[in-house]
Amino acid sequence: MDNPARTAEYVALRDARCAELQRALTELLATHPRITLELGAGHGHFLTDYAAAHPAEFCVGVDLLRDRVVRATRKRDRAKLSNLAFLQAEAGEFLGALPAQVVFGRIFVLFPDPWPKRRHWKRRFISD
C-alpha cells in the first residue's frame, strides 16, 4: 500500500539531494566542460590510475555508497591528483543534475552486474 506521508518525505529528501548535487556539480564542473566519467567507481582503483595516466582529462567517479567514495577520495589525495573527483550519488540523479554544457569524453561502466540471480533483474544497472 502507498503511504502518502512516507512518499512525500521520500520525494522531499530526493529533491533536496538532487538540488545539492546540482549545486556541487555546477561548482565542480564550471571550468571542466568535458569529463571522463566512471559510473560505479567503487574504491577508485581504476579511475585513479586512469587520471594519473591522463592528466589532461578531468575525471569524475560516481558511486552510491559513501564509504567507497571516502576511500576513493583518500586514494586520489594520496596520489595528489587535481584532475579527479569522486561523488556519492545515484547514477540517474547524477546524470539529471549535470549542467547542460557538460560533454562526455569517455564513460566507463566496469563490472556492472553485481546481481547475478534472475530474480534480481530489477536491481541491475544495465539490462536489455
Active-site amino acid positions: 113
User: Count of CB atoms within 10 A of residue 48's CB?
Assistant: 22
For 35, the enclosing helix (H) or strand (E) is strand 34-39
How large is the C-alpha radius of gyration of the chain? Answer: 16
Task: Tell me whether residue 11 is exposed, middle or buried, using C-beta atoms within 10 angstroms of its C-beta: 0 to 12, 13 to 18, 19 or more.
Answer: exposed
